[in-house]
Amino acid sequence: MVNEVFTVAMLVVMAIGVFSGFPVALVLAGTGFLGFVAAVWVGITDFQHLGLIYLRARGVLTNESVQFTSVPMLIFLGLILNASGVAETMFRLLGRLLTGVPGRYAIATLLIGLVLAPAAGVIGASVITVALVAYAPMMASGYAPRTAGGAVAASGALGVVFPPAVMLFFISNVFYLRIGLMYVALIVPVLLMVMAFAIYFAFTLRKTVEIPLDAPKTNLVSDLLFVLASVAVIASIPLSIILGFATLTEAAGVGVFGALLVALARKRLSFSSLNSVTVQTSTMTSMVFFIVLGASVFSLSFHLVGGPDVIFEWISAFDLTQWELLAILLGVIIILGFVFDWIEVLLVFVPVLMPIISELDFADHVGSAYFAQIWIAGLIALALQTSFLTPPFGYALFFAKMAAPKGINLSDIYRGAVPLVAIEIALIAALISFPQLITWLPEMALGTADMPQLIQR
Candidates 383, 397, 385, 391; CA nearest to 148 is: 397
* pLDDT given at position 455: 38
In tens, the pLDDT along 212-229 reads 666 666 677 777 888 888
> Higher confidence at residue 417 or residue 251?
417
Most confident of 95-99, 127-131, 179-183: 179-183
Candidates 380, 389, 446, 432; CA nearest to 170 is: 380
- Is residue 423 scored above 60 in pLDDT? yes
What mean pLDDT is reported for the chain? 81
Question: How many angstroms separate the first and last alpha carbons of the chain?
Answer: 35
Give every CB contact of residue 264 below 8 A, 6+ residues apart in sequence.
Answer: none
* pLDDT given at position 339: 59
Distance CA 124, CA 148 (A): 17
Give the model's confidence band at 190: pLDDT under 50 very low, under 70 low, under 90 confident, else very high: very high
Candidates 384, 386, 363; CA nearest to 373 is: 363
* pLDDT given at position 377: 93
3-state helix, strand, coil in the chain (%, to 5): 80, 0, 20
Cα dihedral 364, 368, 372, 374 in deg (nearest 10): -160
* pLDDT given at position 400: 84
Give the model's confidence band at 61: pLDDT under 50 very low, under 70 low, under 90 confident, else very high: low
Mean pLDDT along residues 391-417: 83
398-407 b/e with 16+ CB inside 10 Å = b?
bbbbebbeee
- The percentage of the chain sitting over the pLDDT mark of 90, rounded to a whole number, equals 16
* pLDDT given at position 150: 92
- Is residue 121 scored above 80 in pLDDT? no
Distances (CA, A) of 391 to 149, 193, 334, 342: 12, 18, 11, 17
- Residues 292, 347: contact at Cβ < 8 Å? yes
In tens, the pLDDT along 344-381 reads 788 777 877 887 788 788 998 998 888 999 999 999 99
- Is residue 81 scored above 80 in pLDDT? no
* pLDDT given at position 117: 56
> CA-based Rg of the chain, rounded to a whole angstrom?
23
Mean pLDDT along residues 232-239: 82
- The percentage of the chain sitting over the pLDDT mark of 70, rounded to a whole number, equals 88
Give the model's confidence band at 266: pLDDT under 50 very low, under 70 low, under 90 confident, else very high: confident
Model pTM above 0.85: no
Mean pLDDT along residues 157-186: 85
Candidates 109, 159, 162; CA nearest to 136 is: 109
> Higher confidence at residue 55 or residue 118?
55
Candidates 424, 415, 413; CA nearest to 337 is: 424
Across 62-71, 95-104, 331-340, least confident range: 62-71
218-233 b/e with 16+ CB inside 10 Å = b?
eeeeebeebbebbeeb
At 1, which helix (H) or strand (E)? Answer: none
At 356, which helix (H) or strand (E)? Answer: helix 350-359
- Is residue 60 scored above 70 in pLDDT? no
At 407, which helix (H) or strand (E)? Answer: none
Distances (CA, A) of 200 to 289, 375, 426: 39, 26, 13
- Is residue 21 scored above 90 in pLDDT? no
At 121, which helix (H) or strand (E)? Answer: none
Give the model's confidence band at 439: pLDDT under 50 very low, under 70 low, under 90 confident, else very high: very high
* pLDDT given at position 83: 79
> Higher confidence at residue 62 or residue 243?
243
- Is residue 195 scored above 90 in pLDDT? yes
DSSP secondary structure, 329-372, as one string: HHHHHHHHHHHS-HHHIIIIIHHHHHHHHHH---HHHHSSHHHH
Candidates 350, 351, 326; CA nearest to 337 is: 350
* pLDDT given at position 164: 77
Helix axes 2-19, 307-316, angle to 10 degrees: 100
* pLDDT given at position 236: 83
Mean pLDDT along residues 396-420: 86
* pLDDT given at position 280: 81
